[in-house]
């Protein structure tokens, strides 16, 4: 065919290269250009042609049949015939082929599958270990409850833990009673405030009883002022005791719960090791004994570490409790005594001594913007 001869002629023409690496100019060949234009305009299908490669290292003969290349038909634009420079090519004429890209995609997919498989195996091992540990601990717990198993006991530490739990329960009762006192006393102060306002209003509307209503109004307002000071002191007392009970003590009790769980695990693996030690001593049994010995040592170290943490926290908690309660009980006593003795000056000095700051009236109510 004419198209085949023209394409072969155009593909095998030499492109001169100068010393700077630029391509030279093809000699003018009007007939060839017209023939090429005619062929390109008519739009031959490259699937029916052959591609001639002039690159170094190409296939033998320089001709690659394109009948095996699958894809849509490609048509050239005649505008590209005006260009006189050869297109840039990779060194050695190397081109990445679709099989290489397919191998790369398959390789990445296999890597992702391997990672996912590794994560799944790791999760499965974790669930398996958790199941074995739960079974051993449950078995140990029932054995202790029904008196068939032994447990590790630290008598001194257990006594301190019992004292702490009893102390926390009593301090929670103090908090409950003090909160109730605040609620009742606040109602009384509000009633005194309303009563003082009523006396003031009546003193202005009853000239014959103006003096009597006046000094009663002043008395109620003074009691209301002292009551707000006492409420400030009691609120400070409740806040400090609440921090001690629900934060400091609770943090220590959390460590104690971890210690008790570690003790149960330690006894469970200790009992398991003792049972294996009483059994046969074949090769498989020795492997299981060695693994049990390793698990026993791990849980023993964990148990001893948490026991040490509990001992240290109990010591610091006792020191902190004495320091905090000494200050708060002194504040509570002085404020109550000064209020019911009617000693306003002593009550104010007590608040200053313990750095108690009173909230301005109405500060607890939300602003109009917050209510929107």
pLDDT tens digit sequence for 128-159: 778 887 887 888 788 878 878 788 889 999 99
Residue 19 pLDDT level (bands cut at 50, 70, 90): very low
pTM, full prediction? 0.61
Residue 275 pLDDT level (bands cut at 50, 70, 90): confident
Residue 44 pLDDT level (bands cut at 50, 70, 90): very low
Distance CA 34, CA 42 (A): 12
What are the distances in angstroms from CA 148 to CA 145, 151, 260, 271, 350? 8, 10, 19, 11, 60
Percent of the chain scored above 90 by pLDDT?
41
pLDDT tops 60 at residue 349:
yes
pLDDT tops 90 at residue 168:
yes
Cα atoms found within 13 Å of the Cα of residue 262, Cβ hemisphere only:
20
pLDDT tops 80 at residue 105:
no
pLDDT tops 70 at residue 37:
no
Residue 98 pLDDT level (bands cut at 50, 70, 90): low
The mean per-residue pLDDT over the stretch 322-329 comes to 95
Distance CA 233, CA 94 (A): 88
Residue 274 pLDDT level (bands cut at 50, 70, 90): confident
Q: How many CB atoms lie within 10 A of CB 355?
A: 8
Q: What local confidence, expressed as pLDDT, does residue 124 receive?
A: 82
Give per-residue pLDDT as tens, 226-242.
Answer: 999 999 999 999 999 99
Distance CA 316, CA 309 (A): 11
Do 32 and 9 meet the contact criterion of CB atoms below 8 Å apart?
yes
- Return the DSSP state at 55: S
> What mean pLDDT is reported for the chain?
76
What is the Cα Rg of the chain in Å? 47
The mean per-residue pLDDT over the stretch 87-97 comes to 47
Residue 308 pLDDT level (bands cut at 50, 70, 90): very high
Q: What local confidence, expressed as pLDDT, does residue 58 receive?
A: 43
Higher-confidence residue of 177 and 271: namely 177
Cα atoms found within 13 Å of the Cα of residue 276, Cβ hemisphere only:
20
Say which range, 1-10, 186-195, 291-300, has the weakest mean pLDDT. 1-10
Q: What local confidence, expressed as pLDDT, does residue 282 receive?
A: 84
Q: Which range has the top average pLDDT, 96-105, 299-308, 341-350?
A: 299-308
How buried is 27 (Cβ within 10 angstroms: 0-12 exposed, 13-18 middle, 19+ buried)?
Answer: exposed
Q: What local confidence, expressed as pLDDT, does residue 322 receive?
A: 95
Q: How many CB atoms lie within 10 A of CB 43?
A: 11
pLDDT tops 80 at residue 61:
no
Q: What local confidence, expressed as pLDDT, does residue 366 receive?
A: 54
Q: Which residues contact 44 (CB under 8 A, 6 or more apart)?
A: 3
- Return the DSSP state at 23: B
pLDDT tops 70 at residue 122:
yes
* Sign, CA torsion 184/186/187/189: positive
* Sign, CA torsion 89/92/97/100: negative
pLDDT tops 80 at residue 116:
no
Residue 365 pLDDT level (bands cut at 50, 70, 90): low
- Return the DSSP state at 249: I
The mean per-residue pLDDT over the stretch 192-199 comes to 92
Say which range, 38-47, 268-277, 348-357, has the weakest mean pLDDT. 38-47
Strand partners of residue 335: none
Distance CA 52, CA 89 (A): 14
Q: What local confidence, expressed as pLDDT, does residue 263 receive?
A: 93
């Amino acid at each position: 065919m004419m198209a085949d001869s023209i394409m072969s002629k155009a593909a095998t023409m030499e492109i001169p290269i100068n010393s700077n690496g630029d391509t030279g100019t093809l000699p003018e060949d009007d007939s060839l250009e017209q023939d090429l234009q005619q062929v390109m305009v008519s739009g031959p299908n490259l699937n029916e042609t052959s591609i001639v490669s002039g690159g170094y290292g190409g296939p033998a003969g320089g001709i690659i049949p394109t009948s095996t290349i699958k894809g849509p038909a490609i048509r050239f634009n005649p505008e590209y015939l005006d260009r006189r420079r050869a297109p840039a090519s990779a060194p050695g004429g190397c081109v990445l082929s679709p099989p290489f890209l397919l191998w790369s995609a398959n390789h990445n997919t296999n890597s992702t599958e391997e990672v996912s498989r590794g994560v799944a195996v790791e999760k499965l091992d974790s669930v398996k270990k958790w199941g074995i540990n739960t079974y051993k601990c449950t078995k140990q717990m029932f054995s202790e409850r029904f008196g068939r198993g032994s447990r590790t006991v630290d008598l001194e530490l257990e006594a301190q833990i019992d004292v702490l739990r009893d102390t926390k329960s009593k301090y929670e009762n103090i908090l409950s009673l003090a909160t109730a006192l605040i609620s009742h006393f606040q109602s009384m102060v509000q009633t005194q405030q309303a009563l003082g306002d009523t006396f003031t209003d009546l003193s202005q509307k009853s000239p014959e009883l103006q003096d009597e209503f006046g000094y009663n109004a002043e008395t109620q307002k003074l009691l209301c002022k002292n009551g707000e000071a006492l409420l400030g002191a009691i609120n400070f007392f409740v806040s400090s005791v609440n921090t001690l009970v629900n934060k400091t003590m609770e943090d220590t009790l959390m460590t104690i719960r971890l210690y008790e769980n570690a003790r149960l695990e330690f006894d469970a693996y200790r009992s398991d090791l003792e049972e294996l030690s009483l059994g046969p001593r074949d090769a498989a049994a020795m492997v299981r004994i060695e693994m049990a010995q390793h698990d026993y040592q791990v849980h023993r170290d964990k148990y001893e570490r948490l026991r040490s943490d509990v001992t240290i926290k109990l010591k610091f908690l006792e020191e902190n409790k004495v320091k905090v309660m000494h200050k708060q009980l002194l504040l509570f006593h002085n404020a109550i005594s000064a209020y019911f003795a009617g000693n306003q000056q002593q009550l104010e000095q007590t608040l200053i001594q313990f750095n108690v700051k009173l909230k301005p009236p109405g500060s607890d109510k939300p602003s109009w913007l917050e209510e929107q």
